[in-house]
Amino acid sequence: MSSLIGKRALVTGGSRGIGAAIARRLAAEGADVAIAYEQSAAAAQVIVEELQQAGRRAVAIQMDAASPDSIQQAVDRAAAELGGLDILVNNAGIMRAGPPETMSLKDIDDTLAVNIRAVLLASQAALAYLPSGGRIISIGSNLAEQVPTAGLSLYSMSKAALIGWTKGLARDLGPRGITVNVVHPGSTETDMNPVDGPTAEGQLSRMAIKAYGRAEDVAALVAFVAGDEARSINGSGLTIDGGANA
């Protein structure tokens, strides 16, 4: 696995779950990786040391996805530490679920700030560094395309917004040779969504393949989209959800 040798990547929300798996896979493919984290400094450092021991340049960078200044500083530092930037993976996200009438203004503002605004600002900041052949990959959700149960309207709206952003930005950046795509995971086994969790039975009932996906599966798809063989995949939403949305 060496399709990303010489590439430099920033993965937001990279200290755990899907983000950590993406960081590991990009490094396994040859990329140097900056991991942006909010609070999990120790977990991020463990991954950084793992990647360094494998021969990759790696750095952990604290970033508050709700802070425009923090996002700009994280992108600038990633580029400085790695000597440039070729790949941006917008993975950081939050979920606020519940009946719409119970959603507080803070719930709404936090969701919009982290799930939408942070993606826009990180992408904007990365454009100062991304060359032709650069990649912007955002992590969405299969709930952007179908909403199978109540209580998900705010979260689903925030992830659906990434579809429009991705399509528009792909048009804007295509002439520069930069592709923009969104990967939509479905039920994926992480500490935030365990296979033995209280909602697992309902999630599995909607899937054609009755098994949670693995974070490594999502990471493999992201690594492919980041590579040269995906040069013609642009403005696309790629769903990896065991057929839940089939």
Which residues are the active-site residues?
Answer: 155
Across the strands, what pairs with 193? 190
Query: For residue 176, how many other CB atoms are within 10 A of its CB?
Result: 13
- Structure tokens, 209: 């393949």
Nearest alpha carbon to residue 15 among 59, 52, 56, 57: 59
Nearest alpha carbon to residue 90 among 129, 59, 116: 116
Alpha-carbon distance of 40 to 24, in angstroms, equals 16
Give the CA diameter of the chain.
Answer: 51
Report the DSSP pairing between strands 237-240 and 213-214: unpaired
Alpha-carbon distance of 52 to 43, in angstroms, equals 14
